[in-house]
Amino acid sequence: MLLRIAVQAKGRLFDETMTMLAESSIKVESGKRTLLVPAKNFPVEVLYLRDDDIPQAVASGIADVGIVGENEFEERQEDAEIVKRLDFSKCRLSLAIPKEIDYKGLEWFNGKKIATSYPGILKRFLDKNGIKAEIHVITGSVEIAPGIGLADSIFDIVSSGSTLVSNNLKEVEVVMKSEAILIGNKNLSAEKREILNELLFRFDSYKNAEGKKYIVLNIPNDKIAAASELLPGMKAPTITKLETDGWSSLASVIEEKYFWEIIGKLKNLGAEGILVMPIEKMIY
Ligand code: PRP
Ligand code: ZN
């Protein structure tokens, strides 16, 4: 029995999806990519699809679960369930207009032509806000539509915003935020749910360790309390007395994004011999 997991064959989710699988010790041959590839050491097979096709594949049971952008799932309105938000490939779906236009509010879009690959989400948004605009569906390079006179504005994915800038557009309304999600078929067998739970456990262990480092340092005993406050770790830091009188060794977990700030404060407390090491997995 294999759990079949649909992933994007190429595109914005691909790299991080493959990293997450690899870090969860799910090894799939990446050399010659066929459509369906069994994992080597875990009861999973990977089905490579276009992201647009993943929601339907999961809803219909062609795949058991799938990793897809929330935007794509929202657009397709297929009957599958969101199992887990995966916290990567974050972006937003926004309305954008030529940058020189003086924008005063949503009413601007009345009577305008909007180019998009997400007509469903856009229509629901316009209807909800009582805006009557013409939706023009195109599947790629939506951002060039206003420049070539195909539309007045666009509704598309914005991530860094650089695509908008290079096409002389500006974001004026954020309609939804999106990230990668794991969706699942609603009628998975007990056996498949069990494999899915193990998969989720592995994803969590990887995600928990992401952005975290293991830190060990020496600290004068009278500064242990102050240092512990800076380094809460998983529960509390581990403290070991050193042979050198009046000194202890302290070990904990540190978030990479606060790293330089915390290191500075620790040095001010008199910390010495600071070692920082990568953490591969973290199980609470
Ligand atoms: C999306 C979108 C823009 C770009 C925005 O395309 O259509 O072109 O990303 O990203 P930015 O704000 O970081 O510039 P995507 O790469 O998903 O490919 P697509 O052409 O298949 O939509
Ligand atoms: Zn797509």
Does the CB atom of residue 161 touch ligand 1 within 6 A? yes
**Residues 53 and 158 reside in one and the same domain:** no
Residue 168 lies in a domain: yes
CA of 154 to the centre of ligand 1 (A): 12
Contact yes or no for 87/208 (Cβ under 8 A):
no
**Residues 146 and 247 reside in one and the same domain:** no
**Residues 260 and 222 reside in one and the same domain:** yes
CA of 158 to the centre of ligand 1 (A): 7
Residue 56 lies in a domain: yes
Rounded distance between C-alpha atoms, residue 9 and residue 3, angstroms? 18
Please report the pLDDT score of residue 257 as a whole number. Answer: 85
**Residues 81 and 15 reside in one and the same domain:** yes
Residue 283 lies in a domain: no
**Residues 164 and 220 reside in one and the same domain:** no
Does the CB atom of residue 145 touch ligand 1 within 6 A? no
Distance of CA 127 to CAs 70, 132, 133, Å? 21, 8, 10
**Residues 165 and 221 reside in one and the same domain:** no
CA of 153 to the centre of ligand 1 (A): 16
Does the CB atom of residue 144 touch ligand 1 within 6 A? no
**Which residue has the CA at smallest separation from atom 22 of ligand 1?**
140
**Residues 76 and 110 reside in one and the same domain:** no
**Residues 76 and 185 reside in one and the same domain:** yes
**Residues 118 and 143 reside in one and the same domain:** yes
pTM for the predicted model, two decimal places: 0.85
Ligand found nearest the CA of 51: 2
Does the CB atom of residue 142 touch ligand 1 within 6 A? yes
Please report the pLDDT score of residue 33 as a whole number. Answer: 62
CATH of the domain at 243: 3.30.70.120
Residue 10 lies in a domain: yes
Please report the pLDDT score of residue 31 as a whole number. Answer: 57
**Residues 69 and 195 reside in one and the same domain:** yes
Residue 115 lies in a domain: yes
**Residues 29 and 168 reside in one and the same domain:** no
Residue 125: give the domain boundaries: 91-177
CA-140 nearest atom, ligand 1: 20
Residue 74 dihedral angles phi and psi, to the nearest 5°: -65, -40
pLDDT digit string (tens) for the chain, length 284 residues: 999 999 999 899 999 999 999 989 888 876 556 789 999 889 999 999 999 999 999 999 999 999 999 999 999 999 999 999 999 999 999 999 999 999 999 999 999 999 999 999 999 999 999 999 999 999 989 999 999 999 999 999 999 999 999 999 999 999 999 999 999 999 999 999 999 999 999 999 998 888 889 999 999 999 999 999 998 777 778 899 988 889 999 999 998 888 899 999 999 999 999 999 999 888 87
CA of 73 to the centre of ligand 1 (A): 17
CATH of the domain at 30: 3.40.190.10
CA-143 nearest atom, ligand 1: 8
Q: Of 46, 47, 50, which Cα lies nearest the Cα of 13?
A: 50
The total number of structural domains that make up the chain: 3
Q: Which of 14, 122, 155, 163 is the best mutation target for the ligand 1 pocket, counting ligand atoms within 8 Å of the beta carbon and taking the most?
A: 163
CA-166 nearest atom, ligand 1: 14
Residue 145 lies in a domain: yes
Rounded distance between C-alpha atoms, residue 196 and residue 165, angstroms? 41
Residue 244 dihedral angles phi and psi, to the nearest 5°: -60, 125
Rounded distance between C-alpha atoms, residue 31 and residue 120, angstroms? 36
Please report the pLDDT score of residue 30 as a whole number. Answer: 64
Residue 284 lies in a domain: no
Does the CB atom of residue 51 touch ligand 1 within 6 A? no
Phi-psi region of 161 (alpha: psi -120 to 50; beta: other; left: phi over 0): left
**Which residue has the CA at smallest separation from atom 9 of ligand 1?**
157
Does the CB atom of residue 157 touch ligand 1 within 6 A? yes
Does the CB atom of residue 162 touch ligand 1 within 6 A? yes
Does the CB atom of residue 74 touch ligand 1 within 6 A? no
Residue list, CB under 5 A from ion ligand 2:
51-52
**Residues 137 and 21 reside in one and the same domain:** no
CA of 11 to the centre of ligand 2 (A): 8
Instruction: Single out the residue in 135, 154, 177 at which a domain terminates.
Output: 177
